[in-house]
């Protein structure tokens, strides 16, 4: 278990985004927006060609940071500070002159170049540093992720292929390009990966170099087929599990999300494993729980599946239909006690309605070997399935019960993850930068 560690949350990470002169440069705005949404600090460096396709002002506004354009700061050309004798000995303005590329690479935890043209790939592969961006990449000691974007003939050009292979061998990372319709009117491989895919790769890369917990979260309902078109399921949206996965990610933990068919968007920056049935969810949990410091089982696993799944569509009509149902395995009951034995932390959820909810949740806490159970009454308007708010109580084996107020699922997730960190003996350093 990762005890007594601290981690840097995403809010304290810096990404340098290099933008080169491909038509996909306009998508840099969305990349900056998504990174900023997660609290990641972004500094943008643009090539001269990129500024003709995308506004540096827009990227400066979105990143809330000056955009670096030149190796040499033109504003210093008129009165070079080093020649301003009156300032000698008072301050050192000249220290910043011409070293933007060093600062850009040193301040960053990761560099991403999106779009990356054939030109920048060629330059980096062959050690050419003739402008701010190529110099910054060359001076960088952090991982560099390229998102290539170019015409299909260029992507398939032998020189580009060799450059990409060379860069991969040297440890440079790539996301995309994808196949599809290209801006030039042709179809083929060369489209820049979508901004969500690029940000997903950036965040995963940032979190790999972390000292956080390994967190496994399950979310959503499962679907049990009755025939090729009909399923047995429940009303779970998956929002609570997604909120927990996103919160754990933002606090610097490496997250794997096992997701049933969700009725909400999947979070970026986490490993996602899509499952449909309880059996598939069980297989995924059993594969991944061994390396998880923390398992949070929010999934509303269907309790039954059809004894026989009909190969043909069941006939509809006026006659009563009965289907034999058999119980699904209880995933948590199978892994919880084993995890407890080896000191790994496990949190379950209980959906209980009525007065004895507490007592029934406590029985589950005990029977499934849990360290905490999150009790929820989904018949309340402020805690309903699919809603954005929830009102939960947190119960532990020691007999403690904390009733949380009705709040957004994200706020509840923050409280659950904070408590889980403590149960894991994990000392976060995030409170001061991550306000509630
Ligand atoms: N759970 C599970 N496998 C199942 C059923 C539930 O792992 N087959 C997990 C859920 O993810 C949840 C906890 O067990 O974390 C409790 O689920 P819940 O459905 O409330 O309880 P059940 O044990 O299914 O009891 P009941 O159906 O009586 O409410």
Q: Where is pLDDT greater, at 214 or 85?
A: 214
Q: Are 408 and 388 in contact (CB under 8 A)?
A: yes
**Distances from the Cα of 352 to the Cα of 213, 237, 360, 364, 380, angstroms:** 30, 17, 8, 11, 11
The pair of three-digit structure tokens given for residue 293, joined into one six-digit string: 């410091």
pLDDT of residue 235 exceeding 60, the answer is: yes
Contact 257, 273 (CB under 8 A): yes
**Every domain of the chain and the residues it spans:** 8-79+92-205, 212-313+322-426
Gap between the Cα atoms of 367 and 359, Å rounded: 12
Mapped onto helix, strand or coil, the DSSP state of residue 294 is: strand
Helix (H) or strand (E) holding 46: strand 41-46
Cα–Cα distances in angstroms (integers) from residue 213 to residues 208, 345, 427, in the given order? 11, 11, 11
- 274-333 pLDDT per residue, tens: 999 999 999 999 999 999 999 999 999 999 999 999 999 988 887 888 999 999 999 999
Ligand 1: residue whose CA is nearest its atom 27: 303
- Asked whether residue 93 carries a pLDDT value surpassing 70, the answer given is no
CATH superfamily of the domain spanning 212-313+322-426: CoaB-like (3.40.50.10300)
Instruction: Please state the atom number of ligand 1 nearest to the C-alpha of residue 327.
Output: 8
Catalytic hit among 1, 2, 71, 184: 184
Q: pLDDT tens-digit profile of 103-147?
A: 787 789 999 999 999 999 999 999 999 999 999 999 999 999 999
- Phi and psi at 177, nearest 5°, equal -80, 165
Considering only CA atoms, which of 124, 189, 176, 182 is closest in space to residue 148?
176
Query: pTM for this structure?
Result: 0.87
Q: Cα of 298 to ligand 1 centre, how many Å?
A: 9
- How buried is 275 (Cβ within 10 angstroms: 0-12 exposed, 13-18 middle, 19+ buried)? buried
Answer whether residue 211 shows pLDDT above 80.
no
Cis peptide bond prior to 177, omega within 30° of 0: yes
Give residue 436's pLDDT band: very low, low, confident or very high (50, 70, 90).
Answer: very low
pLDDT in tens, 359-396: 999 999 999 999 999 999 877 777 777 788 999 999 99
Measured in Å, residue 333 CA sits from the centre of ligand 1 at: 9
Averaged pLDDT, 239-245: 97
- Distance CA(80)–CA(43), nearest Å, equals 25
Q: How far apart are the first and last CA of the chain?
A: 27
> What are the two backbone dihedrals, phi and then psi, of residue 400, each rounded to the nearest 5 degrees?
-70, 145
CA distances from 350 to 302, 370, 373 (A): 13, 12, 7
Q: How far, in Å, is the centroid of ligand 1 from the Cα of 276?
A: 16
* Overall size of the chain counted in residues: 436
Q: Which atom of ligand 1 is nearest to the CA of 351?
A: 20
Note the pLDDT of residue 92: 41
Tokens 């309340």 map to which residue?
380
* Whether the Cβ atoms of residue 250 and residue 9 lie closer than 8 Å to each other: yes
Neighbours of 80 (CB within 10 A): 11
In percent, the amount of the chain with pLDDT more than 70 equals: 89
Give the residues across from 274 on adjacent strands: 259
Q: Average of pLDDT values for 70-90?
A: 53
Dist. CA 126–CA 203, nearest whole Å: 28
Residue whose CA lies nearest to ligand 1 atom number 25 = 350
> What is residue 1's predicted lDDT score, i.e. its pLDDT?
44
**Across 200-220, average pLDDT:** 92
- 424 catalytic, yes or no? no
Q: Which atom of ligand 1 is the closest one to the Cα of 285?
A: 7
Asked if 8-79+92-205 and 212-313+322-426 have one fold, the answer is yes
Residue 434 has a pLDDT of 40
Domain spanning 8-79+92-205: which superfamily?
Flavin prenyltransferase-like (3.40.50.1950)
Alpha helices in 191-301 (DSSP H): 195-208, 239-250, 278-288
Name residues contacting ligand 1 (CB within 6 A).
Answer: 278, 297, 299, 301, 303, 328, 330-332, 348-351, 364
């Amino acid at each position: 278990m990762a005890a007594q560690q601290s981690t840097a949350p995403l809010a304290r990470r810096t990404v340098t985004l290099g933008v080169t002169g491909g038509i996909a440069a306009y998508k840099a705005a969305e990349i900056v927006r998504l990174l900023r949404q997660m609290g990641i600090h972004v500094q943008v460096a643009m090539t001269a060609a990129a500024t003709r396709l995308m506004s540096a002002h827009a990227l400066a506004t979105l990143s809330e940071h000056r955009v670096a354009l030149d190796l040499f700061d033109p504003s210093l050309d008129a009165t070079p500070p080093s020649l301003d004798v009156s300032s000698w000995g008072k301050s050192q303005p000249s220290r910043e002159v011409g070293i933007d590329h060093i600062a850009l690479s040193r301040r960053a935890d990761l560099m991403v170049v999106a779009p990356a043209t054939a030109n920048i790939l060629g330059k980096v592969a062959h050690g050419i540093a003739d402008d701010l961006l190529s110099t910054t990449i060359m001076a960088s000691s952090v991982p560099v992720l390229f998102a290539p974007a170019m015409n299909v003939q260029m992507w398939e050009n032998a020189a580009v292929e060799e450059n990409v292979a060379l860069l991969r061998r040297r440890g440079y990372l790539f996301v995309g390009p994808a196949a599809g319709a290209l801006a030039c009117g042709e179809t083929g491989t060369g489209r820049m990966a979508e901004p969500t895919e690029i940000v997903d790769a950036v965040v995963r890369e940032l979190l790999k170099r972390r000292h956080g917990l390994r967190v496994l979260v399950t979310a959503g309902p499962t679907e049990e087929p009755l025939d090729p078109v009909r399923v047995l399921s429940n009303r779970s949206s998956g929002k609570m599990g997604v909120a927990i996965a996103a919160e754990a990610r933002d606090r610097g933990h490496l997250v794997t999300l096992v997701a049933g068919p969700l009725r909400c968007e999947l979070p970026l920056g986490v490993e996602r494993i899509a499952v449909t049935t309880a059996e598939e969810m069980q297989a995924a949990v059993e594969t991944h729980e061994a390396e998880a410091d923390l398992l949070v089982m929010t999934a509303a696993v269907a309790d039954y599946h059809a004894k026989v799944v009909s190969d043909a569509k069941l006939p509809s009509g006026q006659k009563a239909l009965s289907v034999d149902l058999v119980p699904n395995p209880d995933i948590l009951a199978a892994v919880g006690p084993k995890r407890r034995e080896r000191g790994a932390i496990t949190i379950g959820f209980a959906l209980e309605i009525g007065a004895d909810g507490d007592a029934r949740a406590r029985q589950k806490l005990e029977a499934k070997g849990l360290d905490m159970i999150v009790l929820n009454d989904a018949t309340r308007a402020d805690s309903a399935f699919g809603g954005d708010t929830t009102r939960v109580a947190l119960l532990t084996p020691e007999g403690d019960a904390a009733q949380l107020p009705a709040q957004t699922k994200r706020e509840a997730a923050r409280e659950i993850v904070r408590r889980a960190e403590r149960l894991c003996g994990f000392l976060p350093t995030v409170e001061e930068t991550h306000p509630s």
